[in-house]
Amino acid sequence: MRSIPTILKDSKTIAVVGLSNRPERASHAVAAYLQQHGYRILGVNPAYAGQEILGVPVYASLAQAAAALEDGARIDVVDCFRTPDAMLALAREAIDIGARCLWMQLGVVNQEAADLAVAAGLDVVMDRCMKIEHAHRGGAA
């Protein structure tokens, strides 16, 4: 399993699951921060599918977001702003699309989902914020 600094350094494309169009929401603030620091953001939220948030299209599912990438590109991190009970299904989707890391934001812990993702070869981070982890390292991936 790669360390958080390595995940941040090696990742380029991040699917933000639960991305909101409301700037006061954590998913929006984190996505904006990551975008400002050079990461490519893909929004995943069925409530906003077909719209744009932060200038990027929002997809109804991880599968749709992955399918929209150019040939050879893949989602490096699935950054989840969902409840713990939604994580098992999201872990399965992350595995299906060939993501490299399943990242569960602050307060999101689901050991079954983590174990499933690790068994499939994904890195897993639970109960951590990508923005905080990135900023803690001086804002450099």
Give residues with Cβ within 8 angstroms of 125, minimum separation 6. Answer: 4, 7, 101, 102, 103, 104
pTM for the model stands at 0.95
Range of the domain at 8: 4-136
CA dihedral 19, 25, 30, 31 (to 10 degrees): 30
On whether residue 59 sits in a domain, the answer given is: yes
CATH number for position 39: 3.40.50.720
Task: Give me the number of domains the chain comprises.
Answer: 1
Sign of the C-alpha dihedral computed for residues 34, 119, 99 and 104 taken in this order: negative
- Which tens digits make up the pLDDT trace of 1-59? 899 999 999 999 999 999 999 999 999 999 999 999 999 999 999 999 999 999 999 99
On whether residue 141 sits in a domain, the answer given is: no
Count of H-run helices and E-run strands, the chain: 6, 7
